[in-house]
Structure 1
């Protein structure tokens, strides 16, 4: 057996860390995310092409919600990128647990009458109806006013938050998260109406 000689480890300098991190500037990534969101929302607006609406709707399905999260999850709630992240997150949740979502929406719709009407969910709100509603809302990115998209999604989240508050198995944190989502989308909707959302 040969004797192993001890070597003092080298101290990695800045080139080591640059290679490890790939040298990607977070500001550049953020700028690219904002630009992509801008093109998706502003570029698609007013499009009568059903294919454009379908591509926007199924973006999370084709690219993966994880990929979208990498691009937009850190964006502020009052930005186009932050709004898109919240909308796609909401759709993914509705598709992942349609029965649970329908139960929470049903529990909240009696107390949140106005929000229920704004959300535009069919009555009675079964799992398929909720999936159809969230798809219709996201299709609106291409075909209607983005403020309407945000306000409908906010109303839906508010009804669900109200429903969660009435269900014993849901924690206060669960209720607060959904309420925060609703408030963020609503504030973004009002910012969009005032042409401040970028």
Structure 2
């Protein structure tokens, strides 16, 4: 006979990803099955994490890219539509990976965009002054929100942050037009997904 404790442990297992979380998916040969498994994992991660409210789940979600590698996450989720849970998770982890790879450069671009996007800056919730450590803390707080707050809020905060950075890139002489557009598109995709989530939940 199964005890309630055993049932709880089974229920929480998919929501606490660790090393090799995606190994079973990537070992498959049928792209359709891999895609289906990736979508199912995204649903478990987002919906399951919100239901658990567990600090350990939030921490494992935050460090999923560190444990699995951003390349692994890209292989699983990068091709997903922007208005899907899989696509949103890919964009959120990509954003965090970029911030951690060049926090000083991100801080410079974010600060340059503050005047052009003051409302987005407030929504993003970055401490003033927006130094490298403050930006890393902000992006970690946003991703931790997958387990601790409404997923629409997570998406809208990330979108606001990307919009300020896009404005900063446009104001600086170094970034190319393509780099500005990429960040602007990312912001628009996350914002649109946030509104879909508010209306009827992403799938």
Query: TM-score interval w.r.t. the shorter chain?
Result: 0.7 to 0.9
Q: 1:114 aligns with which of 94, 113, 119?
A: 119
How many Å apart are 1:47 and its aligned residue? Answer: 3.0
1:79 to 79, 84, 87: 84
In structure 2, list runs of 5 or more residues that go unmatched: 1-26
Structure 1 residues 23 and 158, CA gap change in structure 2 (3 angstroms): closer
**Which of 117, 127, 131 is 1:126 aligned to?**
131
Q: What's the offset of the Cα at 1:26? A: 1.2
RMSD, matched Cα = 1.1
**1:125–1:73 CA distance, 2 compared to 1 (3 A):** same
Is 2:164 aligned against 1:166? no
Q: Contact 1:115–1:156 (CA<8 Å) still a contact in 2?
A: yes
Q: Does 1:151 align with 2:156?
A: yes
Task: Mark the CA change 1:79 to 1:169 in structure 2 (over 3 Å): closer, same or farther.
Answer: same
C-alpha separation between the residues in 2 aligned to 1:127 and 1:181? 21
**Quick check: which one's helix share is greater?**
2
The residue matched to 1:194 in structure 2 has which SS? helix
- Residue in 2 aligned with 1:139? 144
Off by >6 Å, runs of 4+ in structure 1: none
Larger Rg: 1
Given candidates 57, 67, 74, the residue that maps to 1:62 is 67
User: Could you tell me which of 21, 30, 38 is aligned with 1:25?
Assistant: 30
1:101 aligns with 2:90: no
Deviation at 1:23, TM superposition (A): 7.6
TM (normalized to structure 2)? Answer: 0.85
Cα deviation, residue 24, structure 1? 1.6
Contact 2:28–2:34, Cα closer than 8 Å, also in 1: no
Quick one: which of 85, 91, 101 aligns to 2:96? 91
Match of 1:13 in 2: none
Query: Structure 1 23/164 Cα, relative in aligned 2: closer, same or farther at 3 Å?
Result: closer
Between the aligned partners of 2:67 and 2:30, the Cα distance in structure 1 is 27
